[in-house]
Amino acid sequence: MEPMLNTLTLITLLTLTTPLLLPLLSEKLKPTPNMIMHTTKTAFMVSLLPMMMFMYLNTECITTHWEWKIMMNFKIPLSFKMDQYSMMFFPIALFVTWSILQFATWYMASEPYIDKFFSYLLMFLIAMLMLTIANNMFLLFIGWEGVGIMSFLLIGWWQGRAEANTAALQAVLYNRIGDIGLILSMMWLASTTNTWEIQQNFSQTPTPILPLLGLILAATGKSAQFGLHPWLPAAMEGPTPVSALLHSSTMVVAGIFLLIRTHPLFTNNQAALTLCLCLGALSTLFAATCALTQNDIKKIIAFSTSSQLGLMMVTIGLNLPQLAFLHISTHAFFKAMLFLCSGSIIHNLNGEQDIRKMGGLQKLLPVTTSCLTIGNMALMGTPFLAGFYSKDLIIESLNTSHLNTWALMLTLLATTFTATYTLRMTLMVQTGYTRTIVITPMNENNPTIINPITRLALGSILAGLLITSYIIPTKTPPMTMPTITKTAALTITALGIILALELMNLTQTLTQPKQNAYQNFSSSLGYFNPLTHRLTTEKLLNSGQKIATQLIDLSWYKKTGPEGLANLQLMMTKTYTNAHTGLIKAYLESFALSILILLFYLN
C-alpha cells in the first residue's frame, strides 16, 4: 500500500505535464482546451487515492529522485515531500482547477489564443503543485518563481490594454520585493545550517529573527499582506478564470503555505509570531475596509481574498499552521466559486462589472445567483458551511489565546466588515430592481457553466465537514470557553449583516450621500497606491537626480574638485595680470625695491 502513495502522486504530476510535453513528440499533438481540462480531471481522480491513503493510514513519504551537483558539500536533491499538507492540497487544487478550466472553455470561447491560455494555466498549476510538494527550498523557489511568472503572463493576457500591462508589472514588482526576503532566508539557511531541506532546519533553540523576517517578507509579497498589497486588486485586470485560479485559491496562498511549511522555525520566536499576527490583522482589516465602498464585483472579491489571506496570516501568528491550511483549503472552494459566478454574471451582462449596474439577477440567473449566495454565506462563516469550520475555529482560538488585543480587535472588526460587504454585494447584484442598461439574452443553459459552479458549491458546503472529519489536529483546539466567546464570531457576523441591511436601505433611495473622510479613505484604498507609487518614487528619483547633478557634478567637480582648483588659480591670475603691464617703470620699481631690501638686510 505504501509504495503506491508516491507512485500515484508522481503519476498525478506526470499526467499534468503530458499536455505540455506532447508537442515535443509531434507537431500534430497540440493540446486543445478540452484535452487539458480532461487531463486535469484525470489528475484529480488519481490524486484522490494518495489523499485517501493518507487519511486512512496516516502515511507520509519523502522521495528523492536525483541531485543537482552544483557544489561539493551542499546537496540540492530533487526531492518531494508527501505529507499532510501536500496530500490534502493536491486534490483540492486539482478539483478547483478542473472546475475553472471547464468554466474557461465557455468563458474564453471567443478568445483566438485559447490554446495558449490553457497551456499557461496548466504551466501555472504545475509550478504551484511543485511548490506544494517541494521538500527543499530550491524546488520551492522554482515553484515560487514559476507561479510569479505565470501570474505576470496571465494578468497581462489582454496585452493591448494599458491597465492590464500596468497591473501585471505591479504584480511582478511586488512579488519581486517578496522574493528578496525569500532569497535572504534561503541564503541564511544555506550558510548557517548547510542545507535547504525543510525538515533539517528545525531545532528547539530559537531561530534568529533574520531568516524569519525574510520569510515573512516573502509571504507579504506573495500573499498581498498590507504593505505589498496593491497588486492583488490590480490583478483583476486579468480574465476571470485567471482571477479564480491564481488570485483566489492557489497562487496567493503560496506565501502562507511557505510559512506553514517552515512553521517550526517560527514556533520559538515570539517576536516573529507577533509580527505575523499584527501584520495579518492589519491586512485583513485594511482589505475589508477597502472592500466596503468598491463597486466592481471582481474588486470586491479580490479584497475579500486579501482579507482572508490576512486572516490566514493571523492564524500563523497564533502558532496554528494546520488551521491556516484548513482555511486555505476551504477558502479555495468558495472563493473560486465566487469568481466563477461573477464571471458568468459579467459575460451574461455583456461585460458589465459594476454592481451599481446590476440588480434583480436572482430571477434571471437562478443557478448562478444561488451559488453566489452559497459562496457568500460560506465566506461569512455561516454555521456548518465550509468557511465555518476554519473561520470559527480561528476566531475561537483568537479569543482564547494570550495575544495582542489590538490584533484581536482588528480581526473581529474585519469579520464584521466581511459580512457587510459580502451582503452588500449579494443584495446589489441579486435583489432589487434591474439596473442593467442593456437586457442581453441571459441564459445558463450551457452545462459548462453550471457544472463547475454547482460542483464548487457542493465543495463549499461539504469540504469543511469532510476535511475536519478526517484530519486529526496536531494541536488541541480550545474546548471550553464562555458562551459569549463561543458565539462571538456569529454575533459579529450578525452585526455586520444588520449593518449591511441598513446600508442597503440608504442606497436604494435616491439621496446623494455627501462625501465624508471615511468614505474617501475606503474608496481610494487607503490612499496607499498614490502614496507609494507616486510619492516615494518621485522622491527617490528626485534625490537621485540631486545627488548626481548637484552633489557630484556641481559640488565635487565644479566647486571643490578640478574646476574649483582652476577657479582659485583664476582668481589669483586675474590679480597678477594687472601687475604684468610691460611698462619699464614696473621693472625699475622692482629694481629699486630690491636695492632698498638689500639696504635693510645688510644692516
Partner 1 sequence: MSPLHLSFYSAFTLSSLGLAFHRTHLVSALLCLESMMLSMYITLSIWPVENQAASSALMPMLMLTFSACEAGTGLAMLVATTRTHGSDQLHNLNLLQC
- Give the nearer residue to partner 1 in terms of CB position, either 162 or 599: 599
Please choose, out of 266-274, 294-302, 315-323, 589-597, the segment that lies near partner 1 by the rule CB under 8 A.
Answer: 589-597
Dist CA 183 CA 439 (whole Å): 52
Q: Note whether 387 and 334 are within 8 A (CB).
A: yes
Please choose, out of 220-228, 233-241, 314-322, 576-584, the segment that lies near partner 1 by the rule CB under 8 A.
Answer: 576-584
Contacts of 371 (CB under 8 A, 6+ apart): 337, 341, 453, 454, 456, 457
**Of residues 25, 472, 484, 584, which one binds partner 1 by CB under 8 A?**
584
The angle formed by the CA atoms of residues 444, 16 and 324, to the nearest 5 degrees, is 75
Contacts of 197 (CB under 8 A, 6+ apart): 79, 135, 136
Dist CA 27 CA 290 (whole Å): 49
Q: With binding defined as CB under 8 A, does residue 589 bind partner 1?
A: yes
Q: How far is the CB of 602 from partner 1 (least distance, A)?
A: 8
Backbone angles phi, psi at 320, to 5 degrees: -125, 75
Dist CA 518 CA 539 (whole Å): 28
**Of residues 505, 599, 600, 601, which one binds partner 1 by CB under 8 A?**
599
Dist CA 150 CA 170 (whole Å): 14
Rounded-to-5 percentages of helix, strand, coil across the chain: 75, 5, 20
- Give the nearer residue to partner 1 in terms of CB position, either 469 or 603: 603
Q: How far is the CB of 573 from partner 1 (least distance, A)?
A: 22
Dist CA 145 CA 147 (whole Å): 5
- Give the nearer residue to partner 1 in terms of CB position, either 555 or 581: 581
Dist CA 391 CA 374 (whole Å): 16
Q: Note whether 306 and 69 are within 8 A (CB).
A: no
Q: How far is the CB of 551 from partner 1 (least distance, A)?
A: 49
Q: With binding defined as CB under 8 A, does residue 591 bind partner 1?
A: yes
Q: With binding defined as CB under 8 A, does residue 595 bind partner 1?
A: yes
- Give the nearer residue to partner 1 in terms of CB position, either 113 or 587: 587
Site size for partner 1 (CB under 8 A): 13
Q: Which amino acid is at 1?
A: M
Q: With binding defined as CB under 8 A, does residue 579 bind partner 1?
A: no
**Of residues 52, 439, 531, 592, which one binds partner 1 by CB under 8 A?**
592
Q: With binding defined as CB under 8 A, does residue 597 bind partner 1?
A: no
Q: How far is the CB of 603 from partner 1 (least distance, A)?
A: 8
What binding mask, one character per residue, do residues 240-269 give for partner 1 by CB under 8 A, x or -?
------------------------------
**Closest by alpha carbon to 305, among 358, 362, 255?**
255
Angle between helix 386-399 and helix 405-430 axes, rounded to 10 deg: 150
Q: How far is the CB of 579 from partner 1 (least distance, A)?
A: 15
- Give the nearer residue to partner 1 in terms of CB position, either 180 or 593: 593
Q: How far is the CB of 572 from partner 1 (least distance, A)?
A: 25
Q: How far is the CB of 592 from partner 1 (least distance, A)?
A: 4
| DSSP code for 66 | E
Q: How far is CA 498 from CA 292, 336, 409, 502, in A?
A: 14, 26, 19, 6
What binding mask, one character per residue, do residues 76-115 give for partner 1 by CB under 8 A, x or -?
----------------------------------------
**Closest by alpha carbon to 124, among 251, 309, 14?**
251
**Of residues 588, 597, 600, 601, which one binds partner 1 by CB under 8 A?**
588
Q: How far is the CB of 578 from partner 1 (least distance, A)?
A: 15
For residue 77, give the 3-state DSSP assignment: strand
- Give the nearer residue to partner 1 in terms of CB position, either 527 or 587: 587
Q: With binding defined as CB under 8 A, does residue 438 bind partner 1?
A: no
Q: Read off the C-alpha cell for 599.
A: 639696504
What DSSP assignment string belongs to 219-241? HHHHTT-TTS-THHHHGGGS-HH
Dist CA 75 CA 392 (whole Å): 43
Please choose, out of 5-13, 339-347, 410-418, 592-600, the segment that lies near partner 1 by the rule CB under 8 A.
Answer: 592-600
What binding mask, one character per residue, do residues 531-570 give for partner 1 by CB under 8 A, x or -?
----------------------------------------
Please choose, out of 9-17, 398-406, 475-483, 581-589, the segment that lies near partner 1 by the rule CB under 8 A.
Answer: 581-589
Q: How far is the CB of 585 from partner 1 (least distance, A)?
A: 6
- Give the nearer residue to partner 1 in terms of CB position, either 162 or 584: 584
Give 514: exposed, middle or buried? Use CB within 10 Å, 0-12, 13-18, 19+: exposed
| DSSP code for 78 | E
Q: Note whether 100 and 29 are within 8 A (CB).
A: no
- Give the nearer residue to partner 1 in terms of CB position, either 192 or 594: 594
Q: How far is the CB of 546 from partner 1 (least distance, A)?
A: 53
Q: How far is the CB of 600 from partner 1 (least distance, A)?
A: 11
- Give the nearer residue to partner 1 in terms of CB position, either 110 or 603: 603
Q: Which amino acid is at 267?
A: T
Q: Which residue is listed with cell 482547477?
A: 97
Please choose, out of 74-82, 406-414, 416-424, 595-603, the segment that lies near partner 1 by the rule CB under 8 A.
Answer: 595-603
Q: How far is the CB of 554 from partner 1 (least distance, A)?
A: 43
Q: With binding defined as CB under 8 A, does residue 583 bind partner 1?
A: yes
**Of residues 112, 585, 600, 601, which one binds partner 1 by CB under 8 A?**
585
The residue ranges that bind partner 1 (CB under 8 A) are: 581-585, 588-589, 591-592, 595-596, 599, 602
